[in-house]
Chain A
Amino acid sequence: MKNILEVKNLNKKYDDFALKNITFDLPKGMIMGFIGENGAGKTTTIKAILNIIKKDSGEIKIFGLDSKRDEGKIKEDIGVVLDDMFYPEILTPNDINNSMKYIYKNWDEKMFNSYLKDFSLNPKQQIKKFSKGMRKKLEIATALAHHPKLLILDEPTSGLDPIARSEIIDIFQDFIQDEECSILLSSHITTDLERIADYITFINDGEIVLSKTCDELLDKYGIVKCREKEFKDINKEDYVKYKKDRYGYEVLVENKRDFKKRYDVEVIDKITLDDLMLLMIKGVK
Chain B
Amino acid sequence: MRGFMMKDLAMIKSNFKLLAILIIVYAVMGVTDEMDISFILPFMSVMVMISSFSYDEFNKWESYASTFPNGRKNSVRAKYLITILLILLMAVITTVLSLFIAHSKTSSLAYENILLTTLGNIFATIIVLSLMYPIIYKLGIEKARIAIFVTIFGIAIIGGILINYVDLAKFLNVLSPLENYWVFIIIGLGIVFIYTSYRLSLHFLLKKEF
**Residues of chain A at the chain B interface (Cβ within 8 Å):** 47, 50-54, 71-73, 75-76, 78, 80, 82, 84-92, 95-96, 98-104
Contact = CB atoms under 8 A, between A and B. Distances in A.
Contact of A87 (B1, B2, B7, B69): B7
Given A95-B6, A100-B3, A88 B11 contact: yes
Interface in B26-80: 52, 55-56, 58-61, 63-64, 66-71, 74
Contacts of A73: 69
A53 B210 contact: yes
A6 B63 CA distance: 23
Contact of B59 (A53, A72, A80, A87): A87
Interface in B175-210: 209-210
B3 A102 contact: yes
A106 B55 CA distance: 27
Contacts of B1: 102
Given A52-B66, A52-B210, A86-B61, 9 more contacts: A53-B209, A54-B209, A75-B70, A78-B67, A89-B58, A90-B14, A95-B6, A102-B2, A102-B3
B6 A99 contact: yes
B209 A50 contact: no
A30 B1 CA distance: 33
A75 B6 contact: no
Interface of B: 1-4, 6-7, 10-11, 14, 52, 55-56, 58-61, 63-64, 66-71, 74, 209-210
Given A87-B59, A89-B55, A101 B66 contact: no
A69 to B, nearest CB: 14
A75 B60 contact: no
Contact of A72 (B2, B4, B64, B70): B70
Contacts of B56: 88
A101 B209 contact: no
Contacts of A54: 209
Contacts of A91: 7, 10-11
A95 B70 CA distance: 20
Contact of A90 (B6, B11, B69, B209): B11
B3 A88 contact: no
Given A52-B63, A89-B58, A72 B69 contact: yes
A99 B8 CA distance: 9
A187 B74 CA distance: 31
A85 B6 contact: no
Contact of A88 (B55, B63, B69): B55
A82 B61 contact: no
A53 B206 CA distance: 10
B169 to A, nearest CB: 51
Contact of B10 (A47, A71, A95, A103): A95
27 contacts: A52-B210, A71-B69, A75-B68, A78-B67, A85-B61, A86-B60, A86-B64, A87-B59, A87-B64, A88-B7, A88-B52, A88-B55, A88-B56, A88-B58, A88-B59, A89-B59, A90-B11, A90-B14, A91-B11, A92-B10, A96-B7, A101-B3, A102-B2, A102-B6, A103-B4, A103-B69, A104-B68
A72 B210 CA distance: 19
Contact of B60 (A50, A84, A103, A104): A84
B3 A52 contact: no
A47 B62 CA distance: 13
Contacts of B63: 52, 82, 85
Contacts of B55: 88-90
Nearest to A98: B6
A80 B67 contact: yes
Contacts of B67: 50, 52, 75, 78, 80, 82
Contacts of A103: 3-4, 68-69, 74
Nearest to A143: B67
